[in-house]
Chain A
């Protein structure tokens, strides 16, 4: 990862912030506003860092699960988010010019690793991949976006303009290398692999990186959207044919805005991975707390709450005109400590540039295994975790005005990913990616 000499590590900064935060709940690190100075050479000083953390930095004493322990994982999440959303090229800092192509968009997408004919993927080429990401952002070679369904066909997500959300998955070099080296990129390779799948773990002591995978949720920008509030790329939107409704295969170019980002990182402290999830701030209100007059990406007060968090009517095809927008509310509010950290990071982003798009992204939460050796899942905390744009329909249920969670069904990153397997039916180390592999055609 790139390093810039004038940058101090966010980790150290956040440790101070956490100390302050735990003593006076809610103040976060706000009292220590960083000074952002622009040097003569145009470099921007900020405590925010492009350096991806290897692993979480746990508190050294007096562990409070919902206090300083959660904070340390949330800090890890923000460190990761900032680092992977850092500009992919050049010497600017994150959001310095408002928006920027990101590091994670230079990573290989799942369809670039698991090819249609099962052949080996092309080697990791960071220069080439960066160039492509940059071109994507400027609209020259837009990214292909086809996937519309949330896991296990729970449903598509439809915005206020009747447009389907698009989903993308990408992985970092460490994850790619493991798949490539062990030939897990096709079905036959996975069947031949009899070891236990074990992706690299980030390690603070050895200073090595672990596997990182991201899942992004994009909305097509359109009427009613304030585009200055989104990280944007140009995309080719593919729609599949549906003959019964007279819909043909089609593609068109459009600007899409990032509305959700999952980050999964495997580390030594968390072999069941650390699961971080972010959303654009305008996605959905907390249940029952819609603000009058505010524009939400996936909520319209006038539509009422009877269809809340329910999948749209079938057939699910992005080409059908006039579809009813999804009505989404967040059932579990963001933890106040997490929100305080969000506020403090936002201040730092605004200090770089008041028009930074990145100030409009918030950490929903981080899930991690609290007792990794205790069981397959390692006793995850928080018990449930959902991103309103990626697990919209699995957040829990509202029964007589109360939120009800069902263990094993309501969204839990680790709970669900624990069931992931390879094509040989063996555990896939918490990723469903390996099931995208195709058969090597003779």
Chain B
């Protein structure tokens, strides 16, 4: 639809997590906002009735797609859209010429030459949206539709640690953030309120984290699982490499028992309390887990927001005199596999790119018709410093049943390992405790049942084999599967502009003709030493708990690499960061501390891409805090 005659206070590219938070804040302050969302509309979240005539999505349909999927990946509820494509975990493979048997040896040299055939966009996207240049495949995915990646986030809502903002100053690594923990503290309060976080504040004052006087989380801590309590008891007083292995409840954007807040009000967001569907990723059936549609709905209810779906931003235009942005060009489509139906321009006073780290950077670099290096890129850092939390998984059998597959996917973790003097030498990590048995690393319960009932023949063929059945099968499941558990290490990555970056592909395009992201990605020694420590920590923890260690080749083995002769299998955490980082000067960062572009006074770029370093906390809560900080700055600049 053509909005080029309308004038908005703010145009936001992206109707996902950051876009919804910003739209809500700005609309609540009576600003007129336009949101451009590349993906499909979500039922009940449209402002133009004509959108109801197009493809729309809803939780029931997503759940149905999930139920019917053979592989229940994060993408399984969300059908691919060739006009706003997204990556999928099933597509993560070693990059040729590297294979499972001949994995990339890190540290590696230059990335291998490109081998991707993308002549047919749809067929090529079916094999993987990313143009992975390596040498290590980028392991994380995201969603492009109303609500964005929040549909399949886990729910973990941890604050960063004070030292996380000062990695350079304290540990002489990477860079400092241009803000401190104290600068963000109030925004963390606001973020936890908006999301609706359940936690016990007394447990969360770790590694120097402080809370405002009398702070109360909106809801009480989610009860621990039997596994959490087992690990807590078994690891009491234990340390690894100087870090406490104490088990702590994980704050989560998941409805628990409401608290009476500091202002005397009892918290109520109107949604159901968690029923332990054990499905946070990829989708919560009852929306006990927060997702961005909650905030987008509130934004739309103000009446100050218009949202256009199926609108893919393709070019950011500048007034070359003022160097301010004066329009966002976008393409529309009617069906997810059909042709472009029009090209339009959206105009506003301020512009926000909140399109997820990779797509935002891609858009800025693609917008090169006026400045060859792209928009907001004086520093040359746009698209650079791509980071994830590569994850190491350890899994095994507890000596006694812990009854997995019950409760939220994760309710506790080990946070002691997130900070310490070792950060001068190696990456830190946080240890997430998984309640879903070997589901992630081992394809449980399916693969293990099949191993018992139809064991794989040596030649891997379809030859029938004899296995167990009936009572024997049932007994085995009862005695064995009930002891499954897994832990996951979220390992820090440092920004590496030379080896970890994205560029818009010059040869591979999606169905709309928009360039696909070409990704160069690597692990440095700092991170690999983190993997090494993670493996050692797993051994120690498992030893201490009397666990039968089953850590081996995970089902998701595409992130295989070798370091010091040892094979590791990195998993993406779904945390995509760094590609439009904030900083102290325009020479080495894309935005200032308010996420305002150094180069264009009316352009803000907001999201996990704003983060200059990764810390070890799941970045979503921090992104929300940053979005509110940016909103305040934008409002101040307008008024």
Contacts and interface: CB of A to CB of B under 8 A. Distances in A.
Contact of B273 (A154, A313, A409, A421): A421
Interface stretch (A103-111, A278-286, A289-297, A400-408): A400-408
A419 B257 CA distance: 13
A303 to B, nearest CB: 10
Interface residues of B, number: 46
Given A152-B270, A306-B53, A406 B46 contact: no
B273 A314 contact: no
Contacts of A306: 52-54
A436 B226 CA distance: 33
Interface string A401-439: 000101111100000001101011100000000010001
Given A153-B297, A155-B44, A397-B61, A315 B303 contact: yes
B639 to A, nearest CB: 17
A311 B43 contact: yes
Interface in B351-379: none
Nearest to A309: B43
Contacts of A324: 49
Contacts of A410: 60
Contacts of B44: 153-155, 310-311, 314, 393
Contact of B300 (A315, A418, A439): A315
Given A313-B49, A314-B46, A406-B67, A419 B303 contact: no
Contacts of A128: none
A316 B271 CA distance: 18
Contact of B285 (A312, A408, A421, A423): A408
B320 to A, nearest CB: 35
Nearest to B287: A152
B58 interface: yes
Contacts of B275: 418-419
B47 interface: yes
A155 B300 CA distance: 13
B286 interface: yes
A315 B302 contact: yes
A408 B61 contact: no
A62 interface: no
A439 B266 CA distance: 7
A425 B256 contact: yes
A408 B286 contact: yes
B300 A314 contact: yes
Interface string A230-253: 000000000000111100000000
B56 interface: yes
A396 interface: yes
Best-surrounded residue of B46, B53, B64, B275 (most CB of chain A within 10 A): B64
Best-surrounded residue of A244, A404, A406, A410 (most CB of chain B within 10 A): A406
A244 B303 contact: yes
Nearest to B279: A408
A383 to B, nearest CB: 14
B270 A153 contact: yes
A244 B266 contact: no
Contacts of B305: 314
Interface in A8-49: none
State which size class the interface on A falls in: 35 or more
B59 to A, nearest CB: 6
A245 B43 CA distance: 22
A317 interface: yes
A187 interface: yes
Nearest to B45: A314
A418 B265 CA distance: 26
Contacts of A421: 273
Given A152-B270, A311-B44, A406-B63, A397 B58 contact: yes
Nearest to A313: B49
Nearest to B41: A310
Contacts of B60: 394, 396-397, 406, 409-410
B301 interface: yes
Given A310-B52, A314-B300, A419 B45 contact: no
A409 B59 contact: yes
B47 A407 contact: no
A74 B78 CA distance: 39
B43 A310 contact: yes
Given A187-B266, A242-B303, A409-B60, A314 B47 contact: yes
B249 to A, nearest CB: 15
Given A312-B49, A406-B64, A424-B257, A419 B273 contact: yes
B168 interface: no
A1 interface: no
Interface string B26-52: 010010000000000001111111011
Contacts of B260: 439
Contacts of A307: 49, 52-53
Given A310-B52, A404-B64, A424-B257, A409 B303 contact: no
A329 to B, nearest CB: 14
Contacts of B52: 306-307, 310, 313
B480 interface: no
A421 B257 CA distance: 9
B571 to A, nearest CB: 28
Contacts of B59: 409
Interface in B270-297: 270-273, 275, 277, 285-287, 297
Contacts of B58: 393, 397
A163 B55 CA distance: 26
A410 B51 CA distance: 23
Interface string A387-399: 0000001101101
Contacts of B264: 439
A98 B257 CA distance: 48
Contacts of A396: 60
Given A155-B44, A314-B47, A409 B270 contact: no
B304 interface: yes
Contacts of A418: 275
B297 A314 contact: yes
B401 interface: no
B286 A419 contact: yes
A316 B46 CA distance: 10
Nearest to A315: B303
A397 B275 CA distance: 24
A409 B63 contact: yes
A154 B300 CA distance: 14
Given A310-B43, A314-B301, A397 B266 contact: no
Contacts of A439: 260, 264-266
A310 B60 CA distance: 12
B258 interface: yes
Contacts of A424: 257
Given A152-B270, A244-B303, A425-B256, 12 more contacts: A153-B44, A187-B266, A244-B30, A244-B302, A306-B52, A306-B54, A313-B46, A317-B303, A409-B285, A423-B266, A425-B273, A439-B265
Interface of A: 152-155, 187, 242-245, 306-307, 310-317, 324, 393-394, 396-397, 399, 404, 406-410, 418-419, 421, 423-425, 435, 439
30 contacts: A152-B270, A244-B27, A244-B304, A307-B49, A307-B52, A310-B52, A311-B44, A313-B47, A313-B52, A314-B44, A314-B303, A314-B305, A316-B301, A324-B49, A396-B60, A397-B64, A404-B61, A406-B63, A406-B285, A408-B286, A409-B63, A409-B286, A410-B60, A418-B275, A419-B272, A424-B257, A425-B220, A425-B256, A425-B258, A435-B268
Interface of B: 27, 30, 43-49, 51-54, 56, 58-61, 63-64, 67, 220, 256-258, 260, 264-266, 268, 270-273, 275, 277, 285-287, 297, 300-305
Nearest first, the 9 A-B pairs at minimum CB distance are A425-B257, A244-B303, A314-B300, A311-B44, A307-B52, A315-B303, A406-B63, A306-B53, A409-B60
